[in-house]
Amino acid sequence: MARTWIQSLIKAFYIAEKDAGVYYFKAPNFTYGLLMPVSLFIAFSIAGQINSSQIVSGLTSLVILFGTTSIEAVAVVLEKQTGTFERLLAAPVSFFTILFGKALAGFFFGLVLATAVLVPLTVISGTFIANPLLVFIAIAFSSLTFSALGVLISAYAKWVPEAQMLSNFLRFPMAFLSGTFLPLELLPAQLGIIARFLPLTYSVEALRISINDSAPTIAYLLDILILALFSFILLVAGSKVLQRRLE
Amino acid sequence: MNVIVEAKGLTKQYGHFLAVDHVDLEVFEGEIFGLLGPNGAGKTTTIRMLTGQTKPTSGEALIAGYDIIHEPTKAKESVGVVPEVSNVYDEMSAWDNLIFAAKLYGMPRSERGSRAAELLKLFGLYERREDKVGSFSKGMKRRLTIGAALIHKPRIVFLDEPTTGLDVQSSRVIRALLKQLNENGVTIFLTTHYIEEADQLCQRIAIINQGKIVALDNPEKLKAKAEEQHLVEVSFSPSKDVEDQLKDLKYVSGVSRIGDKFRLYVENVSEAIPMLIDFCRENSLKIVSINTLKPSLEDAFVKITGLSPEVMTIEKEHAKKEESLG
C-alpha cells in the first residue's frame, strides 16, 4: 500500500517535471504572473488606497494566484486539445495522480514567483520577516490551493479562451474582496462574508501573520488548515469534473 | 492459446446514443487482431474502453488477466496505446518524450536510456533524437508515438487507425514495423477502416458496425462468406455514367464504380453476362473489358454489414484528402 502511494507520488513528480518544462518555466509566463498584480498594486498605491504593510502579503498572494492559475487553467485544456492527455490516461497512473502532478507543477511555479517578489519587496520596504519558515509554509499552501483552483478551471473548460475567461471571472473579484488592497474590516458586512469563502483571503491573512509573528498563532494555523482543505476539495472536484468531461 | 484480451457485453452509451452495443471478443496472445468498420462504428470507443481511457456503461473486460475497470493500473502496465492522432509532446525532443513515457510506466532509471536508444534506432529516429518533435513530419511523429507505446515492452499494443492520414511510404513502414513487432511476440490489436490493411496484417478480424460486432473470423473465412455473391467487373466505351441503369438490371443486386470500371454484384454470372451484352447493344456501348472476380475482404465487408460498397471508398478518399491537406 505504502509502496503504491510512493510510486504514485513519484509519477506525479514526473508529470510536474514535464509540465514545468513544457508549459511553466518560460519567460512570458513569468512576465504575465508578475505584471498584472504589480500593476494593480502600483495603481492602488498611487491612489493612496493601500498602506505599505499590506503590500508584502497582498502582492505576494496575488502573484501566486495570477502566476499559477494563468498556466494551470490552460495546461489540461491544451493537453486535451493536442491529444497528449490521452498519453497520461493510457499510462498506469490514477486520475488523481495525473491531476496532482499537474497541480504540483503550478505549486513549484508559485513558489518561484513568490520568492521572486517577496525577497526584493522585503528589502525595498525594509520589512523584517519574523519567521521565514512560517512564511514559506503560507506560500506553499497558497501555491497549492491556487494551483488546484487552476486544475478545476482547466478540468471544466473545453477551450483555452473559456479557461481564461473563467480564470478572470474568479480572480478579479477575489483580488478585490480578499483583503488584498483593503483590510477586510473596511469592507461592507456582506462583502466581508463573501470574503470568508475565498481562498485568497486566507492566503493574504496567513502571509501577513507569518511576516509579523515569530510563532504560529491560532489564526495562522486555521488559515493554513483552510488552505489545505481548499486544495483538497478543489483537486477532488477537478478530478470529478474532468472525469465527467472526458466521458 | 492464451487469451490476453477478453471483453464481455462491453457497452458504451452517450445519452441516447449507443456507441458500442454488447461487444464480446477474445484476442489471443501473439496474434494481430483487427477491428474493422466504417467511421463512427464504435472502433475508437471500444479501444478506449479496453485501454481504460473511458469507463464502459456496462460489461467487463480483462486485459492480461486484470479487470480494466477495477484494476486499471495493473491492466495498463501490460498495454501500449497508440491513438488515432499522434500524441507526443511537440515541445519536447524525441529522446525526452520516450524517457517521459518510460518514467510514467515506472521503468528503472538504468533501463530507460538503453530502451529509448533501441527504439529510436528501430524507428529510424536516432539521428534526430535531440530535435524537438514539433519539427517532425507526420510519419516521424507516428513512429515516435508507437515507440512511446512500446517503451515498457508491453505484451499487447492497441493501435487506433495506425496509418490513417499517412503517405504511402510511411504507411508501408508502419505496417512492416507492426509485422516485425508481432514476430517478436507482441500482440497487436488494431482498428482500421482500410480493408486491405486489415487483410494484409490481421490473423483475425472483427467487423463492427453501428456498435455491434457483426462478424469475427480470419480474413479467408470472411471472404468465403461472400462467395455466394459473384462479382463482374466491366468497363465500357464510350465511358459513360450508367451506374443507375445497371442497378435496374434484373440479376444485379448492387453496383459500385471504381475509376472507369463498374463492379456488379450478381447472383448468377452465366445469366448476368448475356444480359450485359444486351444492355450494351441497347445503349450503343462496347465492352472494353470484362472480368469475373473472386470476392475480396471488401466484398465480404459489404455483404456482412449491408453497407453500400461506396462507404469505405468515400472514407478512403476523405482520409487521402486529409492527408494531402495535412
Are the beta carbons of A90 and B52 separated by less than 8 Å? yes
For residue B76, give the C-alpha cell.
495498463
**Which residues on neighbouring strands pair with residue B13, listed in sequence order?**
B18
- Find the DSSP H helices in B184-241: 195-201, 219-225
Nearest to A92 among B54, B89, B105 (CB): B105
The per-residue pLDDT for B95 is 97
- Contact status, residue A84 vs residue B88, Cβ threshold 8 Å: yes
Residue B197 one-letter amino acid: E
Residue B28 has pLDDT above 90, yes or no: yes
Give B193's pLDDT tier (boundaries 50, 70, 90).
Answer: confident
**DSSP codes of every residue in B174-193:** HHHHHHHHHHTT-EEEEEES
What is the spatial distance between Cα A178 and Cα A54, in angstroms, rounded to a whole number?
12
Mean of pLDDT values over B174-191: 92
pLDDT in tens, B147-157: 999 999 999 99
For residue B5, give the C-alpha cell.
484480451
Mean of pLDDT values over B131-155: 93
Domain assignments of chain B as residue spans, ordered by start: 3-223, 225-325
Mean of pLDDT values over A177-188: 80
Residue A168 has pLDDT above 60, yes or no: yes
Q: In Å, how far from its chain's centre is CA B103?
A: 30
Contacts of A246 in chain B (CB under 8 A): 53-54
Helix A52-82 × helix A27-46 angle, to 10°: 150
Position with higher pLDDT, A127 vs B117:
B117
Domain spanning B3-223, CATH architecture = 3-Layer(aba) Sandwich (3.40)
For residue B291, give the C-alpha cell.
472480368
The CATH code belonging to domain B225-325 is 3.30.70.980
Mean of pLDDT values over A211-228: 91
Position with higher pLDDT, A95 vs B268:
A95
Are the beta carbons of B148 and A18 separated by less than 8 Å? no
- Contact status, residue A224 vs residue A134, Cβ threshold 8 Å: no
Give B162's pLDDT tier (boundaries 50, 70, 90).
Answer: confident
The per-residue pLDDT for A40 is 73
**Residue whose cell numbers read 496532482:** A100
Nearest to A86 among B87, B101, B105 (CB): B87
Give B317's pLDDT tier (boundaries 50, 70, 90).
Answer: low
Residue A165: half-sphere exposure toward Cβ, Cα within 13 Å: 7
- Identify which of A118, A116, A41, A30 has the alpha carbon closest to the alpha carbon of residue A70: A30
- Average pLDDT, whole number, for chain A? 87
**Which residues on neighbouring strands pair with residue B160, listed in sequence order?**
B191
Closest residue in B to A82 (Cα–Cα): B87
DSSP summary character for residue A128: P
Residue A183 has pLDDT above 50, yes or no: yes
Mean of pLDDT values over A165-173: 90
Are the beta carbons of A83 and B85 separated by less than 8 Å? yes
Mean of pLDDT values over A92-120: 91
**DSSP codes of every residue in B298-314:** HHHHHHHH---THHHHH
Identify from A18, A74, A78 which residue to disrupt to test chain B contact, counting B C-beta atoms within 10 A and taking the largest count: A18
**Residue whose cell numbers read 505504502:** A2
Strand ranges of the sheet holding B66-67, from the earlier edge strand across to the other edge? B17-28, B3-14, B58-63, B66-67
- Contact status, residue A136 vs residue A112, Cβ threshold 8 Å: no
- Contact status, residue B37 vs residue B43, Cβ threshold 8 Å: yes
Mean of pLDDT values over A233-242: 93
- Average pLDDT, whole number, for chain B? 87
pTM score: 0.81
pLDDT in tens, B117-130: 999 998 899 999 99
The per-residue pLDDT for A238 is 92
What is the spatial distance between Cα A142 and Cα A46, in angstroms, rounded to a whole number?
27
Closest residue in A to B158 (Cα–Cα): A90
Mean of pLDDT values over B72-78: 93
- Partner B contacted by A22 (CB < 8 A): yes
Closest residue in B to A81 (Cα–Cα): B87
Mean of pLDDT values over B21-50: 92
Give B323's pLDDT tier (boundaries 50, 70, 90).
Answer: very low
For residue B276, give the C-alpha cell.
450485359
Work out how many CB contacts closer than 8 A connect A with B: 67
Full 3-state SS string of B21-37? EEEEEEEECCCEEEEEC
Residue B228 has pLDDT above 80, yes or no: no
Are the beta carbons of B54 and A18 separated by less than 8 Å? no
A158 to chain B nearest CA, in Å?
18
Residue B271 has pLDDT above 60, yes or no: yes
**Which residues on neighbouring strands pair with residue B93, listed in sequence order?**
B132
Across B171-297, where does the E strand assignment appear?
A: 187-192, 204-209, 212-217, 230-237, 252-258, 261-266, 286-293
Angle at A197 between CA A196 and CA A202, to 5 degrees: 60
The per-residue pLDDT for B255 is 85
Residue B326 has pLDDT above 70, yes or no: no
For A218, residues 6+ apart whose C-beta sits below 8 A from its C-beta are none
Q: Which of A12-26, A59-73, B175-189, B231-245 has the lowest average pLDDT?
A: B231-245
The per-residue pLDDT for B82 is 93
What is the spatial distance between Cα A61 and Cα A176, in angstroms, rounded to a whole number?
12
Residue B220 has pLDDT above 60, yes or no: yes
Residue B314 has pLDDT above 70, yes or no: no
The per-residue pLDDT for B75 is 94
How many beta carbons lie within 10 A of that of residue A128, not counting itself?
8
Closest residue in A to B83 (Cα–Cα): A86
Mean of pLDDT values over B253-278: 84
Contacts of A21 in chain B (CB under 8 A): 91-92, 96
Residue B141 has pLDDT above 90, yes or no: yes
Mean of pLDDT values over A216-238: 94
Residue A19 has pLDDT above 60, yes or no: yes
Contacts of B95 in chain A (CB under 8 A): none
Name the percent of chain B lying above pLDDT 90: 49
